[in-house]
Each structure stands twice: as structure tokens, then as C-alpha cells.
Amino acid sequence: MTAPRLTLKEMCARFDVTPRTLRHYEYIELLFPERAGRTRLYGPREIARMTLILRGRRFGFSLEEIRQWLELYDVDPENHVQMRALIEMADRQIGELQSRLAQLEEAIAELSALRDQTVRNLSRHGTG
């Protein structure tokens, strides 16, 4: 039995992305759909890669980092190199996300304090 293949339109619907996004991912060598004339067909490998691409984007990895990481799969069939690379990338990204979280928490605290002070000022003037 042949593995299911999705058209460009079906891939867009499945992953909630635009055709432009899929074509861009193909252009930068993240995806390699089969071609049947002008039709792009995405098999199980491309579906799995797209899942990993979107997960990587959600975690804040750049497309270049994702591309390099996906290339490691072809180098090491047992995925040891890819797994070690993921650990290093994850450690780096976790540090970056924790730094951003601290900055966001600080900004939220400052904005909350400013808001509260403004509410107090309005209340003192009888317009709150």
C-alpha cells in the first residue's frame, strides 16, 4: 500500500500555513516535495519534517537552525548526532526564553505599578 501524499492545498489546511510558506520552506531546503508536473506532493517524510519545523518555530528556533538540525538526520541514521544537537540547541534556547520571560515579568510589574498609580491619582481627584 502506498503511503498517503498530500497536495499543497491539503498541507496548508493540515498545518494552517499559507502556500507561500510551504514554497519558502521548499526554497530554503526545509521541505522536498515530490513533483507531478506542476503539482507538489508531500509524503510522510515531508509531513514529519513540517511537524518538526513548526515545533521548532514555536520554540523560537530560526529556520536556519531548524534546517541544519534536520540535515543531521540524513548524516546519522540512528539519530545520535541529531539528538545531541537538539540537546545543545534546547539548552541555548531555554536560556534565551528564560531571559525573555524575566524581561516580560519585569515589564508587566512596571506597567501594573504605573496603572495602579494612575488609578490612585484618578481616585484622589474624584474622577475614578
Instruction: Enter the CATH code of domain 1-75.
Output: 1.10.1660.10
Which residue ranges make up each domain of the chain? 1-75, 79-128
Take residue 57 and report the three cell numbers written for it: 518555530
Residue pLDDT, tens place only, 70-117: 888 777 778 888 889 899 999 999 999 999 999 999 999 999 999 999
Whether the Cβ atoms of residue 54 and residue 15 lie closer than 8 Å to each other: yes
Which pLDDT does position 27 carry in this prediction? 96
Range 1-21 average pLDDT: 92
Which pLDDT does position 4 carry in this prediction? 85
Take residue 97 and report the three cell numbers written for it: 526564553
Q: Please say if the pLDDT value at position 119 is more than 90.
A: yes
Which pLDDT does position 43 carry in this prediction? 96
- Long-range contacts for 120-125 (Cβ within 8 Å, ≥24 apart)? none
Name residue, grid cell 494612575. 118
Whether the Cβ atoms of residue 27 and residue 63 lie closer than 8 Å to each other: no
